[in-house]
Structure 1
C-alpha cells in the first residue's frame, strides 16, 4: 500500500510540474491567447487520466488480495487426525474424513430392503444370469456387488465392493441411515463390522496398507450378511483386485428362502454358492410326524447326547489360555464363534461359522434352564443393537467358557448379563440347515 501511494503522489507531482513548465519561446499574441484558453481543458484531461489510473490500481490490488486469501484458505485447511463421531442411539459409528475435499456424493436413503439370500460365484455373473435371477418368482429386487477374501491389516476378511448409493438399502436400518458412513466408503475408506473393529483390533481411524494401497477404517458398520466384515466402494475394490460383479444380494420377502435357494442354485454357473441371510428354519420332525413349525415340544433325539456334550466341553476346556485371534478357527488360536465351531466339531456336530447363524441353530431356552454345553449369546454391537455379536459355551454353575477379544485368551469366567441375548440349545438337525 505504501508503494502505491508513493507512485500516485509522484504522478501528481510530475503533472503539476508539467503544467507549471513554461518553455522560453516567443509566441505571438494570438498563440498565447489560444494556449491560455487550452490550459483548463488540458488540466481536466490530466486529472481524469490520473483518477482513472488510481481506480484501476485499487481494483487490481483488491483482486490480488482476494486471490491470495483464497489460496491461503485452501492451504490452511486442517487435515489432522480423524475424530470419532458418537451418535446417541447407535454409539460409535464413523469418523470424520481426514481429506479436506468433500467425498463423492451418495444418494439419500429412500427405502429399506430386507435381504434374504447372498449369492457369490468365482467369476463375474453374466447379465443373462442376473436377469434370470431377477425374473425368478418371488424375487423382489437384487443388488450387484464384488466379493472376495482380502487381507486387511494382516487378517483374512470377507470383503464386499459396493455402490454406496444403492447397497445401503440392503443393510440394517442404523447402518443404512448413516449418510456419513456411506460418504466415507464412497471417499475410498473401509467400513468394518463392529466385531472386527472392536474385538479384532481395528479401531476407527486406523490406517494400514494392503495390495500397495493405504486404507483407513472410516466406520463401524454391521452389514447383517453372514461373514461379511468389511465393505469398500467399487473403485476401491478394483484397486484391491476383488473380482467385479461376482456377487448378488437378493430380497425375496414373500417366498420360502430354502426353496428359493434351491431354485437359484440351478441357475448359477458351477461353483456358485448361496447363503441364507435371514434364515427361517423349522424344527426337525420325528419320522412320520406331520410338519408343525409352531411346535414347542422337541423330540429328545433332536439334541446332543450326554457323551457328545462331554466331548464338546472337554475339547473347549483343553484350549484354555490359547490367544484370541479374529477369524481364527483353531487349533492354536480362536475367535468366539471359531471356538464354538471347533469344539462341537470334535463331537461330530457341524455348526455354522458365524455367531448370528449359531444363534438360530436350535431353540432358545430360558437362562434358568441352561445346561453345560448350551450356547450363550450377546448383542454388543452399537451399530446394530439387534445383531448377535458374541457367543460363549455355558460351563455350568453360572460360568462360561469363551474367547473374548484381541489381546485376551480363552478362559472361564462368570456369566455376564449385560446386553445378554439368550441361550440356545444346539440341535444338529437345525444347525445343518443354516447356511
Structure 2
C-alpha cells in the first residue's frame, strides 16, 4: 500500500481525502504516568519557595564569550515598561547520557515561576532539582530513553558528573531539555549567569504592538557583539498557525517521501539528523527528507508544526505532517511529528529502541495535519 501511495502521489495530492478514521493506538510515551522520582533519603531534603506568580518568558538574551549578563543590563531590562520578570540562569550545551542537549542551571525557587503550569506547581520536582538531581524533558525521557531515577553522566562545562534523573519536566523553552540547580551547574563547570530570561506582563504580551515595542527596547540594550536576543514562543496556536498559500508541488512531496523511505529500518536516535549519527529522531528525519526536495524545514517538531495551516485528519493529504501533543508536563506543546503517506499510514521515527517505519496513524494526543507552506517553512527555518 505504501509503495503504491508513493508512486501515485501526484494523483493522491489532488484527490485524496480520508474517508475513515482508524482506531486509536497508544502514542509514544503517553502511557508513562510517573514523572517525579521519590526523594532520596540519603540526602537532606531541600526547601524550595512556593510557586509565585507564574509567567511565560517571551525573550531570552544569551551573553557572548562565556560572560555573565551584566547587572546593569539586567536592571535596564527590568525597568522597561511591560516587563514583569527577569531571571538570570546558567546556560550551556551538554552531553547527557550520550545525547547532546541544552541545559540550564537555575535557582529552583524563582525559575519555577517561568515554567509551564504542571511543571511550575510540583514542589517535589523542584526539591529534587535543588537536592542535586537533573530534570529532563518529557520527550527526552520518553522517546530518548533516559530513565527516571537512573544516574547518568552529565557534562555541561569543564567537568562531568553522575547525576540522578529526578523528574520528567518540560520547561517550555525550545532546545532546553535538561535543568539542574545552580549548585550542580557549578560542579559541572558551567558558565555562570550567561542567559537572561524576560517575561512580560500578560496584558502587554497580548498586544502585538506592545510586545514589538518591548522587543525593540530589549534589542537596543543587547549589542550583537555582546549577546544575542531570541524570541520565545512556548505555546502553539492552532487557529493562527498557517501560511500564505504557497503550497509544495507534487514533485517536491514525492521527492521528500521517496527520500524518507530510504531510511526505513534505521534506528531512532535522539537528536539524529544524518546517517553519520547512526539514525534519526522524528523531526530530524523530516528535515532531512524535505531537504532532498529543496525544502528547508526548522529542526524541532514544534517549529515544523508552524510551517503551514493545521487541518483535521479527515482533510489530510499525502505529504502532510501529522502532529501530536503527548507531553503532560507542557499541555498543548507539540512533541512528536510524522509524515502522512495516505491510506491511514505514516512514515515515522518513533522512539529509542525502535526503528524508522511505516505504521498506522494513532490518535491519542493527535492535534491535526500540517500542510507545509513554502514561505512559512522558510520563515520558521530562519
Task: Quickly name the TM-score band, shorter chain normalised.
Answer: 0.7 to 0.9
> Aligned to 1:167, what secondary structure does the other structure show?
helix
Instruction: Give the conservation status (yes or no) of the 8 Å contact 1:281–1:430.
Output: no
Which structure 2 residues correspond to residues 59-208 of structure 1 after superposition, within 5 A?
A: 91-122=33-64, 123-208=67-152
Q: Which residue of 2 aligns with 1:4?
A: none
**Deviation at residue 351 of structure 1 after TM alignment:** 2.2
Instruction: Give the one of 233, 254, 268 matched to 2:222.
Output: 268
- Cα separation, partners in 2 of 1:431 and 1:272, compared to 1, 3 Å: farther
- Cα separation, partners in 2 of 1:316 and 1:418, compared to 1, 3 Å: same
Q: Which residue of 2 aligns with 1:218?
A: 166
Q: 2 CA distance for matches of 1:282 and 1:306?
A: 28
**Number of paired residues?**
336
Q: 1 CA distance for matches of 2:236 and 2:137?
A: 25
**Deviation at residue 260 of structure 1 after TM alignment:** 4.4
| Greater fraction helix | 1
Q: Which residue of 1 aligns with 2:14?
A: none
> Aligned to 1:204, what secondary structure does the other structure show?
coil
Q: 1 CA distance for matches of 2:376 and 2:91?
A: 27
| Greater fraction strand | 2
Q: 2 CA distance for matches of 1:200 and 1:219?
A: 14
| Structure 2 residue 192 is matched with structure 1 residue 238 | no
> Aligned to 2:346, what secondary structure does the other structure show?
strand
Give a deviation string over 1:329-352, Cα, whole Å, max 9, x none: 113411111112222222332322
| Structure 2 residue 332 is matched with structure 1 residue 386 | yes
Instruction: Give the conservation status (yes or no) of the 8 Å contact 2:89–2:196.
Output: yes
Instruction: Mark the structure with the bigger radius of gyration.
Output: 1
**Deviation at residue 159 of structure 1 after TM alignment:** 0.3
Q: 1 CA distance for matches of 2:191 and 2:143?
A: 28
Q: Which residue of 2 aligns with 1:396?
A: 342
- Cα separation, partners in 2 of 1:258 and 1:371, compared to 1, 3 Å: farther
- Cα separation, partners in 2 of 1:429 and 1:121, compared to 1, 3 Å: farther
Deviates more, 1:129-138 or 1:109-118: 129-138
**Deviation at residue 205 of structure 1 after TM alignment:** 0.5
TM normalised by structure 2 equals: 0.81
Give a deviation string over 1:80-127, Cα, whole Å, max 9, x none: xxxxxxxxxx93210112233432210000221122222323332111
Q: 2 CA distance for matches of 1:390 and 1:281?
A: 13
Instruction: Give the conservation status (yes or no) of the 8 Å contact 1:222–1:384.
Output: yes
Give a deviation string over 1:228-249, Cα, whole Å, max 9, x none: 1000000111111211111122
> Aligned to 2:101, what secondary structure does the other structure show?
strand
Instruction: Give the conservation status (yes or no) of the 8 Å contact 1:92–1:382.
Output: no
Q: 1 CA distance for matches of 2:362 and 2:108?
A: 37
Q: 2 CA distance for matches of 1:351 and 1:239?
A: 37
Structure 2 gaps of 5+ residues are 1-31
Q: 2 CA distance for matches of 1:419 and 1:388?
A: 9
Q: Which residue of 1 aligns with 2:196?
A: 248
Q: Which residue of 2 aligns with 1:409?
A: 355
Deviates more, 1:111-120 or 1:234-243: 111-120
Q: 1 CA distance for matches of 2:315 and 2:160?
A: 53
| Structure 2 residue 281 is matched with structure 1 residue 335 | yes
Q: 1 CA distance for matches of 2:351 and 2:80?
A: 42
Structure 1 gaps of 5+ residues are 1-89, 284-292
- Cα separation, partners in 2 of 1:141 and 1:158, compared to 1, 3 Å: same
Q: 2 CA distance for matches of 1:280 and 1:212?
A: 33
- Cα separation, partners in 2 of 1:198 and 1:119, compared to 1, 3 Å: same
- Cα separation, partners in 2 of 1:396 and 1:273, compared to 1, 3 Å: farther
**Deviation at residue 161 of structure 1 after TM alignment:** 0.5
**Deviation at residue 259 of structure 1 after TM alignment:** 5.9
Relative contact order, CA 8 A, sep 6+: which one is greater? 2
Instruction: Give the conservation status (yes or no) of the 8 Å contact 2:287–2:298.
Output: yes
